[in-house]
């Protein structure tokens, strides 16, 4: 077992998932302002530190993805944020892409940037305590999309990123997100997501990536948010498993789903159904942002000094998702 594989397994084992706390300052500002809290470095840190010191960090969270601002901040007791996270047994990680920009010659689509200077940034993040990283490629579904150009460009960038990350002895999260925005059917999502993931692995193999030392972070197979043809949660699970079985090489240790605009309960229920039917060797867990934090954020915004109450809300959500990652969740548990 390689060191990279050990890190990946530590993050994903025993029903643990990943807390995606890597919102950019712009995104975090929108989230805080939506609940009438001023977005200052202090308030952004206070909310995150409230989550990072919650009891469920030890039992439910295997890794935390940070943003550049946060990984460089100190906690209220003077510790670095990576040291605070490591103390809970979770692994600190860092988002390293610089965002999705318009794709030249296909301006309705995006390509993720951030390769320039990445090797040097990775060394700095490693010294700060990060042991895994994240890079997100985004793809839209439409009549002509995602184009071959977008699929190939993002797969190539994800592979080059992964090579640099593994060279620096960190685990890359490979996140190809096919967005749920649009009128497309779940069948369209299945076809396009399969194509996107297969191309990513073609490029990863060309770039000599150690597949036992990565984590895949895909979307679930869903109908578009404006689609007239919604599918059941059971169908979400079966189509998602169908996609992954035919697209992901067996060497990959685990898959941590993004929530991609699903509600908290939907993201938990779908993860649970996937694990109830999971007859693969892949660990299948969660890497959620909003679907782990939204209720806690709403509660916290009423009184930002009520740390314990906010942590109780977060603990509940984390525990529900960890139950789902083991196929043991039920809706009755939500009300206990």
Catalytic residue positions, numbered = 175, 217
Please classify residue 55 by burial: count the beta carbons closer than 10 Å to its beta carbon, then call 0-12 exposed, 13-18 middle and 19+ buried: middle
Please classify residue 333 by burial: count the beta carbons closer than 10 Å to its beta carbon, then call 0-12 exposed, 13-18 middle and 19+ buried: middle
Query: Over the range 7-20, which residues count as b (16 or more CB within 10 Å of their CB) and which as e?
Result: bbbbbbeebbbbbb
DSSP per residue, 18-72: EEE----HHHHHHHHHHTT----HHHHHHHHHHHHTSTHHHHHEEEEEE-HHHHT
Helix axes 148-167, 118-128, angle to 10 degrees: 50
Q: Rounded to 5 degrees, what are φ and ψ at 123?
A: -60, -40
């Amino acid at each position: 077992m390689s060191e990279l594989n050990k890190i990946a397994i530590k993050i994903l084992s025993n029903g643990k998932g990943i807390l995606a706390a890597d919102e950019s300052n712009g995104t975090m500002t929108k989230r805080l302002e939506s609940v009438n809290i001023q977005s200052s470095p202090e308030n952004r840190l206070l909310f995150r530190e409230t989550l990072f010191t919650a009891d469920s960090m030890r039992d439910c969270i295997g890794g935390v993805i940070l943003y550049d601002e946060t990984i460089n901040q100190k906690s209220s007791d003077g510790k670095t944020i990576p040291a605070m996270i490591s103390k809970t047994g979770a692994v600190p990680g860092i988002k390293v892409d610089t965002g999705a920009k318009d794709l030249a010659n296909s301006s309705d689509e995006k390509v993720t940037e951030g390769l320039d200077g990445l090797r040097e940034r990775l060394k700095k993040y490693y010294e700060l305590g990060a042991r895994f990283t994240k890079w997100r490629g985004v793809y839209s579904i439409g009549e002509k999309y995602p184009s071959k150009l977008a699929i190939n460009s993002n797969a190539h960038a994800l592979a080059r990123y992964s090579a640099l990350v593994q060279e620096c002895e960190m685990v890359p999260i490979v996140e190809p997100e096919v967005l749920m925005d649009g009128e497309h059917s779940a069948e369209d999502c299945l076809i396009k997501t399969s194509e996107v993931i297969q191309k990513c692995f073609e490029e990863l193999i060309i770039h000599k990536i150690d597949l036992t030392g990565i984590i895949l972070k895909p979307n679930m197979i869903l109908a578009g948010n404006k689609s007239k043809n919604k599918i059941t949660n059971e169908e979400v699970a079966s189509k998602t498993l169908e996609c992954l079985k035919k697209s992901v090489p067996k060497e990959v240790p685990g898959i941590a789903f993004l929530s991609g605009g699903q509600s908290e309960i939907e993201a938990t229920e779908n993860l649970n159904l996937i694990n109830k039917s999971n007859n693969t060797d892949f660990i299948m867990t969660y890497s959620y942002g909003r679907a782990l934090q939204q209720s806690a954020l709403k509660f916290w915004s009423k009184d930002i000094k009520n740390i314990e109450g906010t942590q109780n809300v977060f603990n509940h959500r984390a525990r529900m998702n960890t139950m789902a990652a083991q196929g043991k969740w039920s809706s009755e548990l939500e009300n206990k």
